Structure 1
Amino acid sequence: MEMEIDTPKGPGRADLEWPEGSTRYLLAITHGAGGGVDAPDILAVRDAVLASGGAVARVTQPYRAAGRRMPGANTGPQDLAWSAMIGRLRAEPGAAEVPLVLAGRSNGARVACRTAAELGAEAVVALAFPLHPPGKPEKSRAGELRGAGVPVLVVNGDRDPFGVPDAADAAALEVRPGERHELSKDPETVGRLVADWLGERLLRD
């Protein structure tokens, strides 16, 4: 189901898909700074989560829906728009009764971490978390992982020029050999890792 969602920063879009049978949780996942929700790793996560009984909302943030490539240096407007979109998704029938997982790749992973506690998420999935700008390890963003307030799964490539987070800064860290920032060499494994970790976290009897 394609949705246009009004936010204080303009309209965004969400593609909401439900699994067959009962819904075990809702995963809302968003894109990188200049990317889209059809990135190979995002699609692989969608497929694996749907197969495991989770609903998936692929969220296009307002600045990308408006055709802008970058969100701007100020994180406040982006977090505000994202929070409004998550609130609207949670108002969908059946969505408020199941656990919420926030997810994103790259810049979207940072947004998910910054807003997880406020939005009542049970967990965060961070794909290709950009630990620092390329070549600038002194500008670490590890504090966003540590400050999420909920368990975070990080999946990064060992050749990512944005760096690889420390295992101590997340509940789980999966480092994919040979992968760069795109996580595009073996996205199916990325999807399976995410679905399995969420199953262990959220679907225990």
Structure 2
Amino acid sequence: MKVAPGNSGVAEHSGAHKIETPHGPARYRLDVPDRHGGVLLVLGHGAGGDVDAADLTAVHAAALARGVAVALVTQPYRVAGRRAPAPAAQLDAAWLAVLADLRRALDFGSLVVGGRSSGARVACRTAREAGADRILALAFPLHPPGRPEKSRDQELDTGVPTLVINGDRDAFGVPPSRPGVRVHVLPGETHALSKHPDAVAAAAIDFVAAG
């Protein structure tokens, strides 16, 4: 059933949902503001983290305040209580299954996919298949710490407009800007993007909320 906003700050139908994916149950929390402007932002967590990370929480709050619906997605391996991430192909398949469920659950006009670290990589790898309009990549892990030769830079070359937000002290590196990929570097921030999460949200919100 398609849902519609209610009469309070966040719609009554907002809440947690568990769905089956090809690799076990995933979970997402969907929040839809009363004055939903038609944009849905879907965010994934880092490899060993959760959707309550400081940067994700700040972006979530800023997006709702701007009329953007937000879904926070927990991958099946984290739902099962594991910290070691599943292989990339499994992460991507589970993510796409969640997006398919969200399309059935909510009417929206513009889809922004993203997340932090591993979640940003998943969003990039699947953006074209998901039909995403924009990508928000928080703390994109350009390479493993100390291994610049193991670059993941090509994952950003999706053809989908992308905003990367990284700290200048990120041990995983900072990708370069290029046509279609804008990189915003926050001084003093590490890979966690947790020192000034409001600055992360401020850097992201206009890109996220664009029509």
TM-score with structure 2 setting the length = 0.90
Corresponding residue to 2:205 among 187, 195, 198: 195
Report the Cα distance in structure 1 between the residues aligned to 2:188 and 2:106, rounded to whole angstroms: 41
1:29 and 2:43 correspond: yes
Report the Cα distance in structure 2 between the residues aligned to 1:5 and 1:149, rounded to whole angstroms: 29
Gaps of 5+ in 1: none
Report the Cα distance in structure 1 between the residues aligned to 2:153 and 2:181, rounded to whole angstroms: 13
> What corresponds to 1:90 in structure 2?
103
Gaps of 5+ in 2: 1-14
> What corresponds to 2:168 in structure 1?
158
Corresponding residue to 1:75 among 84, 88, 95: 88
Q: CA RMSD in A?
A: 1.2
Report the Cα distance in structure 2 between the residues aligned to 1:162 and 1:193, rounded to whole angstroms: 20
> What corresponds to 2:8 in structure 1?
none
Report the Cα distance in structure 1 between the residues aligned to 2:194 and 2:179, rounded to whole angstroms: 24
**Cα shift at 1:22:** 2.9
- Where do 1:113-124 residues align within 5 Å? 113-124=124-135
Report the Cα distance in structure 2 between the residues aligned to 1:145 and 1:93, rounded to whole angstroms: 27
**Cα shift at 1:170:** 5.0
- Where do 1:118-197 residues align within 5 Å? 118-146=129-157, 148-168=158-178, 170-197=180-207
Q: Secondary structure at the match of 1:4?
A: strand
Letter in 2 for 1:55: A
Q: Secondary structure at the match of 2:105?
A: coil
The count of aligned residue pairs is 197
Kindly provide the CA deviation profile for residues 35-84 of structure 1, in whole angstroms up to 9, marking residues without a partner as x. Answer: 00000000000011111110000000101100111223x31111011100
Q: Determine if contact 2:156/2:181 at 8 Å carries over to the other structure.
A: no
**Cα shift at 1:34:** 0.3
Misfit runs of 4+, over 4 Å: none
1:107 and 2:118 correspond: yes
Q: Determine if contact 1:154/1:170 at 8 Å carries over to the other structure.
A: no
**Cα shift at 1:9:** 0.4
Q: Determine if contact 1:142/1:169 at 8 Å carries over to the other structure.
A: no
The sequence identity of aligned pairs, in percent, is 53
